[in-house]
């Protein structure tokens, strides 16, 4: 039972920065590339040897990572964007090769780096089950045997012969996950697949994951959902800048990760490199205050709150989405400036800033974290996890005191009672 | 000689399911083996990818599979008009339309296979980045899927042969061999181009140009009998010369028995395929990071 099934020794992966940038090609890039191609071809031939080994143009996504996973362990891999979680999983799934180091895996590996890989929109649900199953490494006989189970798990019996391009996104995801969930490998590598879909779908996925974990299978699970990691995993590995920072129980690693997130908030946001997006517009500073008309110093339940996002620039259709998380990493509420309300207003004097006002903060006292995404014209410009932390003090909603009560919800709603006496 | 033998020779052993299965992951250095055994283990995936390409190929087109016939037909009409009627290119004593069409059928198979396999890895970028499987399966499946188009066009070719009252000889049994030669050439060049395409998207612009030039460097619109020996044999180093002249010899009974020319073509084609496969495997480790 306790034999080692995954042994990772000194695993490192270097990316050429050039290669990374090229993977986001636009039409303009294509044109300039075509025009400059002769020069580049000559340059890279001169620097041949297969990989360009110039040091200044590469970064280590993983550096000297070692650990062992025993049979039946469910391990959560956590860390910020760019910490190397996905790279590690991709190496173990044999999608990409390590630059240095060694890994040895005993048992049938199933990797689920994305649901619905290889789905073809023109093909029917039935055809896609076979195609996707084959891509994930299932034999045709196995797929046939599990076909009914897959279809009923996905709840698409009626549409099984409809091309998936006519599916709703929910049906598509359910079908994609259903195929993957019936893979039944001995070792399962899962990357953030729970981040997609609606709540019911996520619940179903987590249920299936719990089932898989309960069957004594080995699972390596990458997630930003701390609550899922907490409930599914027996062990947590916290990766930081490509190295193993903490390798302990799931809760110990999660708290190490959350502490690290807090520390990074004190830095200038522009200095942080763990961000995603095109980066033409970035979040420079995030101010959280009690609003211009309030003289209190800290946020409190039922009091106004203002979130001011200072950006490095603006573009047409710039929008800001932010999500408030509790200290377990559970999302509580999302705010999206692109979804308009008649109460929204304009103020040209703001310059490159966006302000979100909450009249009565409905959060119970405690500590909260914010993730921010900035997009312009439908394209993600900047995404920062843990862009800010804030503390909410005890307060009152419409005069009714709200006190800290762990385990009984983080939101308080305005309400009133009617009693006989 | 044929592609099947090439693959089967390496994989004749039954697949062994070693239990427990052990996978060792480490950086590969330099040239790597073709790993045809793994490809064989994934033959079902190869089958499904081919099947997908066939199913999807003419989805949402008004004419559907008619395109497979229309492409060589249209070219034949244009060639017959310009080269046959106006320029009066010699055609080895055979009516020019059928002379051209017998060459255009394998040529179209080759050209479409090359064009599509060159773009196959880019088109499957998401697969490359998310799932492990032998990458060779992608271009192989793409070229294999073209066989269906070939068969459709080939039926039309047989009808035309009957229409022109040409009696096929026993040599017709060699046709599959020449198809295999076209397959090897198409896949061989396709492997080179698809692997290069991952890193240099210039390939996308080079391939149509290459196919155009190659068409004129191949005796599709004219007979290779315009050349005398030993130049004809040397001309055979272009593998498509052997394919095209082979088709004419096997189906139309042209008196240009290809002999040495086909030997030269086969050697050249195998060389392209083997070097292409090794280059592909050598570049394979960078695919997921670069594509």
Question: Which of B40, B44, B279 to mutate against chain A (most A CBs within 10 Å)?
Answer: B44
Is residue A100 less than 8 Å (CB to CB) from chain B?
yes
Q: How much is the average pLDDT of A104-108?
A: 90
Q: How much is the average pLDDT of A59-71?
A: 91
Neighbouring C-beta atoms of residue A408, cutoff 10 Å: 8
Distance CA A160, CA A126 (A): 5
Residues A77 and A171 in one domain: yes
Q: Is the pLDDT of residue A21 over 50?
A: no
Tokens of A34: 């075509």
Residue A90 lies in a domain: yes
Residues A147 and A188 in one domain: yes
- Do residues B130 and A189 lie in contact, with contact meaning Cβ atoms separated by under 8 Å? no
Q: How much is the average pLDDT of A63-92?
A: 90
Tokens of A182: 């019936």
Of B164, B155, B195, B157, nearest to B283 by C-alpha is B195
Question: Nearest residue on chain B to A127, judged by CA atoms?
Answer: B52
pLDDT at B12: 35
Distance CA A287, CA A27 (A): 37
Give the CA distances from residue B237 to residues B101, B216, B226, B232, B272, in Å, rounded to whole numbers and listed in that order: 22, 15, 16, 9, 11
Question: Which of A91, A121, A135 to mutate against chain B (most B CBs within 10 Å)?
Answer: A135
Q: How much is the average pLDDT of A55-61?
A: 73
Question: Nearest residue on chain A to B57, judged by CA atoms?
Answer: A122
Contact between chains at A94 and B130 (C-beta distance less than 8 A): no
Q: How much is the average pLDDT of A355-360?
A: 91
Question: pLDDT category, A30, cuts 50, 70, 90?
Answer: low
Is residue A96 less than 8 Å (CB to CB) from chain B?
yes
Residues A301 and A364 in one domain: yes
Q: Which of A38-47, A354-363, B23-32, B101-110 has the lowest mean pLDDT?
A: A38-47
Chain B residues whose CB is inside 8 A of the A25 CB are: 201
The pLDDT tens digits of the residues spanning B38-93 come to 888 889 999 999 999 998 888 878 787 888 899 999 999 999 999 988 888 888 88
Residue A358 lies in a domain: yes
Contact between chains at B132 and A95 (C-beta distance less than 8 A): yes
Chain A residues whose CB is inside 8 A of the B129 CB are: 90, 95, 113
Over the range A32-57, which residues count as b (16 or more CB within 10 Å of their CB) and which as e?
eeeeeeeeeeeeeeeeeeeeeeeeee
Residue A415 lies in a domain: no
Residues A114 and A230 in one domain: yes
| Residue-by-residue DSSP string for B224-254 | GGGS-TTHHHHHTTSHHHHHHHHHHHHHH--
Distance CA A120, CA A267 (A): 45
**Out of B27, B49, B289, closest to residue A15 by CB:** B289
> Considering chain A, what is the average pLDDT of its residues?
82
The pLDDT tens digits of the residues spanning B114-123 come to 999 999 999 9
Is residue B61 less than 8 Å (CB to CB) from chain A?
no
Tokens of B95: 């009516």
Distance CA A34, CA A44 (A): 15
The domain containing residue A246 runs over which residues?
4-9+66-261
Q: How much is the average pLDDT of A74-98?
A: 89
CATH number of the domain to which A370 belongs: 2.70.50.60
Of A259, A203, A193, nearest to A231 by C-alpha is A203
Q: Are strands A218-222 and A187-191 parallel, antiparallel or unpaired?
A: parallel
Residue A75 lies in a domain: yes
> Considering chain B, what is the average pLDDT of its residues?
86
Q: Where are the domains of chain B?
A: 32-290
**Out of B45, B205, B282, closest to residue A34 by CB:** B205
Distance CA A91, CA A113 (A): 11
Chain A residues whose CB is inside 8 A of the B278 CB are: none
Question: pLDDT category, A296, cuts 50, 70, 90?
Answer: low
Question: Which residues sit opposite A67 in a β-bridge?
Answer: A8
The 3-state DSSP class for residue A413 equals coil
Q: Find the length of chain A.
A: 421
CATH number of the domain to which A176 belongs: 3.40.50.300
Which secondary structure element, helix H or strand E, spans residue A248, and what is its range?
Answer: strand A243-249
pLDDT at B18: 38
Is residue A104 less than 8 Å (CB to CB) from chain B?
yes
Distance CA A33, CA A35 (A): 5
pLDDT at B265: 93
Residues A183 and A286 in one domain: no
Contact between chains at A122 and B285 (C-beta distance less than 8 A): no
Contact between chains at A131 and B48 (C-beta distance less than 8 A): yes
**Out of B28, B48, B131, closest to residue A117 by CB:** B131
Residue A418 lies in a domain: no
Q: Is the pLDDT of residue A207 over 70?
A: yes
Question: Which residues sit opposite A247 in a β-bridge?
Answer: A237
Chain B residues whose CB is inside 8 A of the A97 CB are: 25, 27-28, 285
pTM beyond cutoff 0.90: no
- Do residues B261 and B176 lie in contact, with contact meaning Cβ atoms separated by under 8 Å? no
Residues A255 and A317 in one domain: no
Residues A308 and A387 in one domain: yes
- Asked whether the ipTM of the predicted complex exceeds the cut of 0.90, the reply is no
Q: Is the pLDDT of residue B130 over 80?
A: yes
CB proximity under 8 Å: B 261-290 to A: 282, 285-286, 288-290
Distance CA A266, CA A137 (A): 46
Residues A323 and A178 in one domain: no
The pLDDT tens digits of the residues spanning B219-241 come to 999 988 888 778 888 888 999 99
Question: pLDDT category, B166, cuts 50, 70, 90?
Answer: confident
Comparison of pLDDT for B33 and A353, the residue scoring more: A353
B156 contact partners, CB below 8 Å, separation of at least 6? B69, B73, B101, B105
Question: pLDDT category, B257, cuts 50, 70, 90?
Answer: low
- Domains held by chain A: number: 2
Q: Is the pLDDT of residue B291 over 60?
A: yes
> How far B239 CA lies from chain A's nearest CA (Å)?
28
Q: Is the pLDDT of residue B8 over 70?
A: no
Residue A409 lies in a domain: no
Residue A17 lies in a domain: no
Q: Is the pLDDT of residue B199 over 80?
A: yes
Distance CA B239, CA B247 (A): 13
């Amino acid at each position: 039972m306790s034999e080692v099934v995954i042994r990772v020794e000194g695993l490192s992966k270097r990316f050429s920065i050039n290669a990374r940038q090229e993977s986001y090609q636009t039409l303009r890039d294509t044109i300039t590339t075509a025009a400059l191609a002769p020069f580049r071809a000559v340059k890279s031939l001169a620097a041949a040897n297969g990989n360009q080994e110039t040091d200044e143009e590469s970064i280590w996504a993983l550096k000297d990572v070692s650990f062992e996973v025993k049979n039946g362990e469910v391990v959560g891999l956590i860390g910020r964007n760019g910490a190397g979680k996905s790279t590690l999983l991709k190496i173990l799934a044999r999608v990409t090769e390590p630059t240095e180091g060694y890994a040895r895996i005993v048992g049938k590996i199933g990797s689920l780096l994305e649901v619905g890989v290889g789905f073809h929109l023109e093909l029917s649900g039935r055809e896609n089950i076979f195609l996707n199953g084959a891509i994930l490494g299932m034999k045709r006989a196995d797929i046939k045997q599990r076909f009914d189970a897959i279809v009923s798990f996905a709840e698409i019996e009626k549409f099984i012969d409809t091309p998936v391009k006519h599916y709703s996104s929910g049906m598509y995801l359910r079908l994609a996950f259903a195929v993957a969930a019936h893979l039944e490998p001995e070792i399962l590598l899962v990357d953030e697949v729970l981040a997609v879909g609606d709540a019911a779908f996520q619940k179903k996925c987590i249920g299936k994951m719990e089932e898989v974990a309960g069957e004594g299978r080995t699972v390596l699970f990458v997630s930003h959902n701390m609550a899922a990691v907490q409930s599914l995993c027996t062990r947590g590995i916290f990766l930081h800048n490509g190295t193993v920072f903490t390798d302990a129980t799931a809760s110990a690693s999660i708290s190490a990760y959350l502490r690290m997130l807090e520390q990074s908030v004190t830095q200038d946001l522009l200095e942080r490199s763990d961000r995603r997006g095109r980066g033409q517009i970035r979040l420079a500073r995030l101010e959280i205050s009690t609003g211009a008309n309030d003289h209190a110093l800290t946020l409190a339940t039922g009091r106004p709150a203002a979130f001011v996002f200072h950006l490095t620039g603006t573009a047409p259709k710039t929008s800001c989405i932010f999500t408030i998380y509790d200290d377990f990493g559970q999302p509580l509420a999302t705010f999206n400036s692109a979804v308009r309300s008649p109460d929204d207003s304009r103020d040209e004097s703001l310059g490159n800033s966006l302000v979100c006002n909450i009249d009565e903060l409905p959060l119970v006292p405690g500590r909260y974290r914010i993730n921010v995404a900035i997009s312009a014209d439908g394209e993600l410009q900047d995404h920062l996890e843990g862009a800010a932390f804030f503390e909410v003090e005890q307060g009152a909603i419409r005069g009714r005191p709200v006190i800290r009560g762990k385990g009984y919800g983080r939101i308080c709603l305005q309400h009133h009672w009617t009693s006989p006496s | 000689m044929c592609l099947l033998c090439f693959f089967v020779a390496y994989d004749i052993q039954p697949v062994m399911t070693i239990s427990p299965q052990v996978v060792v992951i480490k950086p590969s250095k330099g040239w790597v083996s073709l790993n045809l055994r793994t490809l064989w283990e994934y033959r079902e995936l190869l089958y499904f990818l081919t099947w997908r390409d066939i199913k999807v190929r003419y989805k949402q087109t008004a004419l559907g599979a008619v395109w497979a016939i229309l492409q060589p037909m249209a070219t034949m009409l244009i060639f017959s008009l310009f080269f046959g009627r106006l320029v009066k290119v010699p055609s080895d004593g055979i009516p020019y339309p059928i002379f051209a069409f017998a060459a255009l059928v394998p040529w179209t198979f080759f050209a479409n296979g090359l064009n599509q396999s060159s773009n196959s890895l880019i088109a499957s970028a998401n697969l490359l980045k998310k799932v492990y499987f032998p990458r060779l399966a992608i271009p192989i499946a793409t070229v294999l899927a073209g066989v269906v188009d070939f068969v459709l066009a080939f039926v039309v070719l047989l009808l035309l042969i009957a229409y022109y009252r040409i009696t096929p000889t026993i040599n017709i049994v060699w046709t599959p061999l020449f198809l295999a030669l076209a397959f090897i050439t198409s896949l061989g060049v396709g492997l080179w181009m698809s692997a290069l395409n991952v890193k240099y998207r210039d390939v996308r612009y080079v391939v149509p140009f290459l196919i155009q030039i190659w068409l004129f460097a191949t005796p599709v619109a004219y007979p290779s009998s315009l050349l005398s020996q030993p130049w004809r044999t040397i001309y055979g180093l272009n593998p498509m010369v052997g394919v095209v002249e082979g088709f004419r010899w096997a189906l139309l009974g042209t008196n240009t028995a290809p002999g040495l020319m086909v030997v030269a073509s086969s050697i050249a084609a195998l060389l392209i395929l083997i070097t292409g496969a090794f280059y592909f495997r050598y570049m394979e480790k960078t695919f997921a990071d670069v594509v």
